[in-house]
Structure 1
Amino acid sequence: MTVQPGRRLLLIGSGWGAESLSRQLREQTNPWQVTACSGRQANPTSGADLLLWLLQEAIEPNALDHELGLWRQQWPQTPLLLVLPAQHRYKRQWLLERSVEGLLDQPAADAIAEALEVLAAGGRVIELQPETTSQHQRRGQGLGHRLLCSGVDQIERELEQINAVLQLAPIHPLQRFVLEGRRRELRMAREVLHLLWGQEPIPQAQASAPAEPLQIVLANRKGLTVLHTVEERLAHAVASLDEAQPSPLLALEALLPDRRRQLFEALLLEFRLLVERLQADPTVASSLWSGQQPLLRERALQQLVGAYTQLPKEGALVHLGDALVSSSDLQQEDPELADLLPSLLALIEGRPLLIDGGLQAPDEPAALLHLQRLVSNWLIRNGELISRELLNNCSGWPELRRAVLLPDLLATRQLDQLRNRINSAERWHTLVERPLAIYESRRLLFDIQAGRVEPTMVCDLRDAELRQLSWWQQAFTLLLEARDALAPQVELLINRVGGLMVLLLTRVVGRAIGLVGRGVMQGLGQGLQNAPSSGDQRS
């Protein structure tokens, strides 16, 4: 077959896997001119348009980083596709920071061929498998932790067996009585273990959401392509949303799953339309972005319920969308919403993104994931604002509850309890939690991962917001500052007082007790010496 220009491939690897892949790439419909080698050459005889490195076995991260740097020095302008072996144990964050255009984790031969086509067209490909929890984390703990884990595991297994037997029907009353007593004994034994060895720490991998596969495919490296890729990834994530999970988003959790998904889809559609208007005239981006936010939420609310949907209210049919928009206050903004406009303008104008104090190209995986987190946070927080207005309308519109709320919230009492919880949480957040977060430079972002909404706390410098706080909120931050200022002095005072008490107890009280004890012992010794013997008493 005739090889087209720009399809020279340098395959780095050895063994039957490299030979089989090389043969397949040569014999495909649009073949590659493959040159195989097992290592770097001082003076390469032929050029290459792409580099494909089949990593046969996992090596140390420092060694891999060094080898990648050497390949970059020898082929500075040539895209590199790195194929990782099975069970490599590299951290995902570390892999995303490597300077490679393509990164595949245990791929098939067809996936490698597709990735090569994307890289040949000037794009990027990142496909990583879910991170696995290594078992050596638990073994790395001390003896007490291992004893606690072993005992708790045995108790949990026996409790599962007892609960399974108790759920069977019928069961003899005497047998049920014995099993329930055994279950109480096991629970008491578990409490005793925790009392002796402390609470069992939760591993980080179990405390967070389970990792999902990461797949990033960019047709090219332009900023708008990155933005379209983010929108497609979010659309796929919204479509795969499961049941609501416990989170601070109380209003969103009250909506039916289909309604929640439709709300996110409507907001994402409005976001795309607004981005198109920003592309048309970036000079008025700031005023356009801030002025369109309330109108955007109103249109999303109308799309959620339908433009022509009618619903009875107080004995008359009314247009649901118009009635909700007229009775809702969608002008307010969420003060905790991170500013998304600078990142959008950077993508539209083709500038690098400012992330954690450093500039990164838009096509870098870290930049794309950061932008996706910001857009996802924008979707979720705006959805929470719209959901709160829906709850307020549902309180005086019983027919609306069946259309948008969960069955558990159809009762008036349950709905009022939820609204009171939301109001109380909002007041506590405004008066206490938000000033504390601003003073500590923290910001809570919400992201859609693994079919559910995941909160993430990030470090964000918020000095401008700190100066805009009210007098009560600033007084709270002043109390925190005073506590931080006085804490070292109080600690020093406690240490000095503790040292003085140790000195008094050891040097003064201890010596006094020693002198008293010595005097008592001397008195007893003299008494024994002066006491008459038994022979003297007989005479």
Structure 2
Amino acid sequence: MELISKKSILIIAPSLIAESLSLKLTSLDQNLDINFNNGTGDKTPELVIWNVLNFQSEDLIRLELLKLREKYDESKFLIILSGEFVYEANTPPSLNAEGFLLNPGAEKVLESIDTILNGGRVFDIENNSLVQLNKNKPLSFSQKILTSGLKQIDSEINYIFKYVNSDSTPEFYKFILKGRLRELITAKSFLIFLWGNSLELYTEAVYTENKINLENKNTVFIKDKNTAEIWNLILDRLKERYSSTNLQVEFNNSSIILSGIKKEFISRLICKMLDELDNLVKNIKENYKEKDFKDDLNSLIKELKVNTISNITDSYFRLKKGGESISINDFIYSEVSCEEIDRESHESIMFIEPIIKNEALDYDGKLLPLYETESFLILENIISNWTIRNCNLLASEIFNICSSWPELRTVLINPELQSTRNFERFRNNINNYNRWHDYIYMPIYLYESKREYIDIIDKKFTRYFKNENREKELENLEWLQKQVTLLVEIRDAVAPQLEVAVKYIGNLFVTFLTKVVGKAIGLVGKGILQGLGRSSSK
């Protein structure tokens, strides 16, 4: 009988959590050799599971993870965040680990162990529904003192951490600062050990099954780490997000013309474009093995857009136009041009090439492997933004067609916009916004190294920004757009001098009021009082 070696796992967690998690894992899989904290002896574990309870500081976690990686340099890491998190970001912390889970159940932990030990990656990438902020509760006097002390320690730790991570800090000073960091961390741990119960820090110190109620259902399991698998994961996630059953868009008179289409067609347009994008990737892989696809990419993208918009309705759907029954899809196919581009979306080559060639993502001057958490999120956001923005351009084509075919409005356009007045007013508002955006907002965004993203959040189209290097796009601006950036630059240059001048004039004015006017008023008042005194003495 062939013996199967057990998987060596080290759990770093409070003792009760470590014991309960170990018990649940071994009950599900007998082929696990689990040790607690430093109980492995000289043996290096294959996987280190680090459970962080009541996560607060990403910097501290990153520092501790660095120490653990130095100690277990040959091991893989799975980080579990459990309990309540005082963390207000929309995305989970970015940590260099093979696995990252938020409040998982034991079954998910076991599945993650198998995936990571087989060379894959596991991470939760949406924490909106999981992260629970500690609500303000009335604190006793001792709790306030302890909280104040912990905050002071955290403040000094974060302050020192900036210098430790700075390349300009000499190594000798870094050595001293690291010693100071260890002292502060030890002091904080000692305070929590002595008085932690007063803050209820360990109220959830047992790994229980009710955690599954908070379990993230958006966990990503990457098994082979190739770009084909990653592309399929992103495609499935986006199609599920924008499917008609999950997409309930409210018309909120936004500046996005796509919002003026009926919500079922918004979903259909986005999902159809994702399908066409998938077909494009497969087409390039099959037919461009011996030649470069870049020369034909623009025509392929145009074909993708035409195929998307010409399949917005079912193929059998027909409508009367001029007394003749016409196929809507065929008419749209013959009318659209799909020549317009949106400069706020990334160039398609940026995300298509890594997927085709199984390469890292070239983003903002960095090469990011697609299987890491950060790059996976970046790639997904880039593709989502590109898809929605191009669907927005297609929606503009639909509005142009509907302007000359009123009957088509009842099929495709939001009921609130079907009257001629509302329809034309909405189009005019969109056109005015686009002109203002292209000539005023966008040059400023480029100058400030920002990129505008569009997504559907809480049933509404939402714009948000990310900092990105856009120097090349800044050089290609038109003359009028460059003048806008020049005005911003002049304003930034003049603002400090103007602030100094205003402050100086203000100081002069205050001096004049206090030294001259105030003194004069005082002398006048003094004279009046003296005159009153003399008159009374008489």
After TM superposition, the score normalised by the length of structure 2 is 0.76
* 2:224 aligned partner, one-letter code: N
1:238 to 2:242 alignment = yes
* 2:447 aligned partner, one-letter code: Y
Name 1:33's counterpart in structure 2: 32
Distance 1:252 1:137, change over 3 A: farther
Distance between the aligned counterparts of 1:484 and 1:137, measured in 2? 44
1:474 CA drift (Å):
2.4
Which sections of structure 2, spanning at least 5 residues, go unmatched? 140-215
Q: Match of 2:248, SS?
A: coil
Name 1:222's counterpart in structure 2: 226
Name 2:111's counterpart in structure 1: 114
Distance 1:26 1:475, change over 3 A: closer
1:94 CA drift (Å):
8.3
Name 1:85's counterpart in structure 2: 82
* 2:108 aligned partner, one-letter code: A
Is the 1:125–1:217 contact (alpha carbons within 8 Å) kept by the matching residues of 2? Answer: yes
Name 2:48's counterpart in structure 1: 51
Name 1:502's counterpart in structure 2: 510
Distance between the aligned counterparts of 1:54 and 1:472, measured in 2? 56
Q: Match of 2:464, SS?
A: strand
Name 2:277's counterpart in structure 1: 271
1:300 CA drift (Å):
0.5
1:322 CA drift (Å):
2.1
* 1:521 aligned partner, one-letter code: L
Q: Match of 1:445, SS?
A: strand
Distance between the aligned counterparts of 1:477 and 1:314, measured in 2? 50
Offset from partner CA, 1:259-307 (integer Å, 9 cap, x none): 1111111100111122223445386343333222221110001222234
Is the 1:12–1:54 contact (alpha carbons within 8 Å) kept by the matching residues of 2? Answer: yes
Name 1:396's counterpart in structure 2: 404
1:312 to 2:345 alignment = no
* 1:8 aligned partner, one-letter code: S
Is the 2:54–2:86 contact (alpha carbons within 8 Å) kept by the matching residues of 1? Answer: no
* 2:262 aligned partner, one-letter code: L
1:78 CA drift (Å):
2.3
| 1:352-371 pair list within 5 angstroms | 352-371=360-379
1:20 CA drift (Å):
5.0
Offset from partner CA, 1:87-112 (integer Å, 9 cap, x none): 14356678532222122222222222
RMSD, aligned α-carbons: 3.1
| 1:282-301 pair list within 5 angstroms | 284-301=292-309
Distance between the aligned counterparts of 2:337 and 2:504, measured in 1? 58
Name 2:99's counterpart in structure 1: 102
Name 2:205's counterpart in structure 1: none
Name 2:531's counterpart in structure 1: 523
Distance between the aligned counterparts of 2:53 and 2:9, measured in 1? 18
Name 1:331's counterpart in structure 2: 339
Distance 1:477 1:91, change over 3 A: closer
1:388 CA drift (Å):
1.1
Name 1:536's counterpart in structure 2: none
| 1:124-273 pair list within 5 angstroms | 124-127=121-124, 128=127, 130-136=130-136, 214-239=218-243, 240-244=246-250, 246=252, 248-273=254-279
1:321 CA drift (Å):
1.7
Which sections of structure 1, spanning at least 5 residues, go unmatched? 140-211, 532-539
Offset from partner CA, 1:25-53 (integer Å, 9 cap, x none): 4454x63232322x225x73445333333
Name 1:181's counterpart in structure 2: none
Distance 1:60 1:111, change over 3 A: same
1:218 CA drift (Å):
1.2
More off after superposition, 253-262 vs 438-447: 438-447
| 1:344-493 pair list within 5 angstroms | 344-449=352-457, 453-493=461-501
Offset from partner CA, 1:438-465 (integer Å, 9 cap, x none): 2222221123456654322112232333
Offset from partner CA, 1:60-82 (integer Å, 9 cap, x none): 65554444333322332322222
Distance between the aligned counterparts of 2:89 and 2:389, measured in 1? 28
Is the 1:80–1:100 contact (alpha carbons within 8 Å) kept by the matching residues of 2? Answer: yes
More off after superposition, 67-76 vs 105-114: 67-76
Name 2:198's counterpart in structure 1: none
Q: Match of 1:96, SS?
A: coil
Offset from partner CA, 1:211-255 (integer Å, 9 cap, x none): x86522212322332222111111111122112353745321121
Distance between the aligned counterparts of 2:96 and 2:250, measured in 1? 38
Distance between the aligned counterparts of 2:497 and 2:327, measured in 1? 66
More off after superposition, 3-12 vs 358-367: 3-12
Distance between the aligned counterparts of 2:280 and 2:360, measured in 1? 21
Q: Match of 2:509, SS?
A: helix
Distance 1:250 1:358, change over 3 A: closer
Distance between the aligned counterparts of 2:339 and 2:303, measured in 1? 8
Offset from partner CA, 1:296-335 (integer Å, 9 cap, x none): 1100012222344332211112232221122223111112
Is the 1:352–1:359 contact (alpha carbons within 8 Å) kept by the matching residues of 2? Answer: yes
Distance between the aligned counterparts of 2:334 and 2:137, measured in 1? 56
Distance between the aligned counterparts of 1:68 and 1:492, measured in 2? 47
1:524 CA drift (Å):
2.9
Distance 1:307 1:117, change over 3 A: same
Distance between the aligned counterparts of 2:390 and 2:116, measured in 1? 37
1:12 CA drift (Å):
4.0
Distance 1:505 1:138, change over 3 A: farther
Distance between the aligned counterparts of 1:19 and 1:521, measured in 2? 87
Is the 1:3–1:32 contact (alpha carbons within 8 Å) kept by the matching residues of 2? Answer: no
Distance 1:513 1:116, change over 3 A: same
1:302 to 2:310 alignment = yes
1:422 CA drift (Å):
1.6
* 2:7 aligned partner, one-letter code: R
Offset from partner CA, 1:325-380 (integer Å, 9 cap, x none): 22223111112222342243234434433445544322111111111110000110
Distance between the aligned counterparts of 1:475 and 1:316, measured in 2? 52
Distance 1:384 1:393, change over 3 A: same
1:391 CA drift (Å):
1.2
More off after superposition, 296-305 vs 212-221: 212-221
Q: Match of 1:318, SS?
A: strand
